[in-house]
Amino acid sequence: MAVTAQVLRSEWTKTKSVRSTVWTLGTGVVVTVALGALISALAKNDYENLSPKDRFAFDPTFISFAGMGLGQLALIVFGVLVVANEYSTGMIRTSLAAVPQRGVFLFCKIAIATALALVVGMITSFLTFFVGQAMLGDRGADLGDPGVLRAVVGGGLYMALITMFSMGVAAMLRSPMLSLGVLMPFFFLISSILANVSATKKVGEYLPDKAGQKVMQVVLVDDDAPYGPWGGFAIMVLWVAASLVGGYVVLKKRDA
C-alpha cells in the first residue's frame, strides 16, 4: 500500500536522523560482546575447578551470551526513545497530523525500529558467540553443534523482541522517564529476583526475558522449566503481542 510505504520511509528517516539511535544500539553491541568475552574468559579459567556435575551442565554457548542481560537494557532504551520521544518532544502531534491513521503510524514505527534491532541483534549475537568461543578456546562450542545455531539466531531474535516489548510499553505509558523507570528495574532486578527466589520461581519463569532467554540455551541438564527453547520463545512472543496491542489501544483511544 502506498501510504504504508511512505510512512515506512518517513519513520526510517526519523530513526536514523537522531543520535540516540547510534548511541543506544552501539552501546548494546559493545556491552553485550565485551561482557560476554570477559565472562567467557573467566569461565574457561574456572572450568578446572568445576565439579563433574557442573562440567556436565557447562553450556559454552549460553556463557558467551552472558552480556546480553546488561546489553538488552540498551535496546530497551532504544525502543523506549523511538516511541516515547514522540510524546516528550510533542512531535507526536506533528506526526499524527501527517499520518492520521494511527494504526499505520504505530505499525510502521515499530516495524522500522524492530528491523533495525533485529539486524543489530543478529550481529551482536553472532559476534558475541564467536568472540566468546574464542575466549573459551577448547572448551568452546561450534556453530555446527546441535542446537547452537538455533541458540545464536534465537539471541538475535530475542534482542528484536525485547525492543518490540519496550515500544509497546512506551506507547502505553507515553513518557520516556516513566517507561524506563518501569522497564529498567523490571529487567535488571525484579525479573532476576523473582526467578531466583524459590517461592516465586514458577512465576518468574513466565516473565518475558526469562522465558525468551531459554532459546539461547543449548545444554539443558536438570532443567525443570515447563517449556523448551521455542516454547519459552513463544511465551515471550505473547508478552510482546500483549504490549503492542496495549500500546495500539492507548494510541487509538487517547488524545494526542
Partner 1 sequence: MIELEGLTKRYGDKLAVDHLTCTVRPGIVTGFLGPNGAGKSTTMRMMLDLDNPTSGTVRIDGRHYRELHDPLRTVGALLDAKAIHGGRSAYNHLLCLAQSNGIPPARVREVLDTVGLTSVARKRAKGFSLGMGQRLGIAAALLGDPRILMFDEPVNGLDPEGIHWIRTLMKGLAAQGRTVFVSSHLMSEMALTAEHLIVIGQGRLLADTSMADFIARNSRSFVRMRSPEQERLRDVLSGAGIAAAPGPDGGLDVTGEDAAHLGELAARHGITLHELSPQRASLEEAFMRLTAESVEYHARAGDGAEPPAGAPDTPDAGRPAWGTDWRGDRRGKES
User: Site residues (CB under 8 A) for partner 1?
Assistant: 2-3, 6-7, 9-11, 13-14, 17-20, 85-86, 89-101, 255-256
CA distance 75 to 67: 13
Indicate the residue among 103 and 137 with the shorter CB distance to partner 1: 103
Least distance CB 124 / partner 1 (angstroms): 24
Distance CA(190)–CA(193), nearest Å, equals 5
Query: C-beta of 84: minimal distance to partner 1 in Å?
Result: 11
Sign of the C-alpha dihedral, residues 214, 219, 220, 222? negative
CA distances in angstroms from 179 to 100, 110, 144, 200, listed in the order given:
24, 16, 40, 24
Nearer to partner 1, 10 or 192 (CB): 10
Among 118, 119, 123, residue whose Cα is nearest residue 30: 123
Query: In angstroms, what is the minimal distance from the CB of 239 to partner 1?
Result: 29
- Residue nearer to partner 1 on the CB measure, 85 or 192: 85
What is the smallest separation between the CB atom of 253 and partner 1, expressed in angstroms? 8
